[in-house]
Structure 1
Amino acid sequence: MDPKKKYLGKRLMLTIVGINGSPTRQSKTGILIDAVADAVATALPTDSYKIALSDVGHEVMCGLTRPDVSVKGEELLQLVERADLLIIGTPVYRAAYTGLLKHFFDLVDRDAMRNRKAILCATGGTPMHALVIEHQMRPLMGFFAIQTVTTGLYGLSDDFASGAVSSPALRERIERAADEAVGLLVPSRVPVRQLVE
């Protein structure tokens, strides 16, 4: 039996949804989210989806309340509400996560998010903004009772090159966050490296 499948029993595929709160299409936040999704996918069989709010933000920003969003917006919200793992990323805008990301979470069902799992990511121009993960993103997840991995991921411009994560230190943190996510998703808490052996 495939060792990945052995740890999941009858549930063979996990749903991972990356939510990119950046308003720009070519973003370092998107690169970071993709790298995290790839790291988790090396350990567990996954169906991965991307929600880039730069592309689909108008589907949810068209409504102040959930009944007002578009049909596509409703589908995106429901996708997030049934995800096994969320990878939530934002650039730091004015010392906070983006308004796009906040509005998206204003619309999701709080009860549906209870006990969802998440990895938190942010990108910014200075190391001083790294605390956005602890001071703003993690409390927002706490409101929804979403379980977050311990390791938060913060990338600076110098951590990226040629459309990929280039920093060895950030890549190491990505692997650590992936290990922690596997620990939340798989009751046996088998480390990533054992799952892929």
Structure 2
Amino acid sequence: MSHPLRVVTVNGSPHLPSRTGVVLDALLDQLRESVDVVVHKVEIADLVGEPLAATPESASARLREDLDAIERADVILAGSPVYKGSYTGLFKYVFDLVEPSALVDVPVVVVATGGSERHQLVLDHQLRPLFSFFQAATSALGIYAHTSEFAKYEIASGALLSRIDRVAQRALSAARTTTSLRELNSAAL
């Protein structure tokens, strides 16, 4: 890859700080250890209170910048706390405004945080189908982290840190093939 890896994190939490943000930052730290990255952070909490947009063209300047970064990303780290069995509504709202063909073959790591282990299926039943619509290259490994793995807003679980390291390495492997896949598939679209 001839340019720094363009990594976009999307933190679906409507509150800052958030455990979801802590996991996304830990993933970023792992990526930074291996490759030069340019990071754009989409913080849903920063969008709370902004006027809603029905189309990307009517989006605020801040949201339009976030959408452009998502659509140009080499890797997307997308996370949300679990709210009533799914990702947050504002998380989905942002992706509703993304151009449907912009994420074809873009590596996406899905992350969810919740109050107990019982919510971990949100990765497979909510987040993966969303990115499947975009034909993104969603990593086979996602990260689900529950409250007991944190001490306030710090990771307190060696097992979670190990999962983060493993997922980051997979994301890097996927990113190395992204350019050729995007070129191949854009010619076929």
Whole-angstrom CA distance in 2 between matches of 1:162 and 1:137: 25
Q: Is the contact made by 2:17 and 2:153 (CA closer than 8 Å) also made in structure 1?
A: no
Kindly indicate whether residue 78 of structure 2 is the aligned counterpart of residue 92 of structure 1: no
* 5+ long unaligned stretches in structure 1: 1-7, 188-197
**Residue from 33, 42, 52 that aligns with 1:51:** 42
Give the equivalent residue in structure 1 for 2:128. Answer: 138
Spell out the pairing of 1:3-22 with structure 2 (5 A cutoff).
8=1, 11-22=2-13
Kindly indicate whether residue 151 of structure 2 is the aligned counterpart of residue 161 of structure 1: yes
Deviations 1:95-153 (A, max 9, x none): 11000011100000011111111111000001010000001100110000111111110
- Report deviation, 1:22: 0.5
* 5+ long unaligned stretches in structure 2: 178-189
More off after superposition, 172-181 vs 62-71: 62-71
- Report deviation, 1:58: 4.4
Spell out the pairing of 1:74-89 with structure 2 (5 A cutoff).
74-89=64-79
Identity %, equivalent residues? 36
| SS of equivalent residue, structure 1 residue 19 | strand
Give the equivalent residue in structure 1 for 2:185. Answer: none
TM-score (norm 2): 0.89
TM-score (norm 1): 0.86
Whole-angstrom CA distance in 2 between matches of 1:17 and 1:133: 19
Give the equivalent residue in structure 2 for 1:37. Answer: 28
Whole-angstrom CA distance in 1 between matches of 2:163 and 2:91: 23
Residue correspondences, number: 177
Q: Is the contact made by 2:18 and 2:153 (CA closer than 8 Å) also made in structure 1?
A: no
The aligned amino acid for 1:37 is L
- Report deviation, 1:53: 0.5
Spell out the pairing of 1:113-152 with structure 2 (5 A cutoff).
113-152=103-142
Structure 1: 4+ residue segments shifted above 3 A: none
- Report deviation, 1:163: 2.8
Kindly indicate whether residue 162 of structure 2 is the aligned counterpart of residue 172 of structure 1: yes
Whole-angstrom CA distance in 1 between matches of 2:64 and 2:37: 22
The aligned amino acid for 1:137 is L
More off after superposition, 30-39 vs 68-77: 68-77
Q: Is the contact made by 2:74 and 2:175 (CA closer than 8 Å) also made in structure 1?
A: yes
| SS of equivalent residue, structure 1 residue 181 | helix
Whole-angstrom CA distance in 1 between matches of 2:56 and 2:29: 31
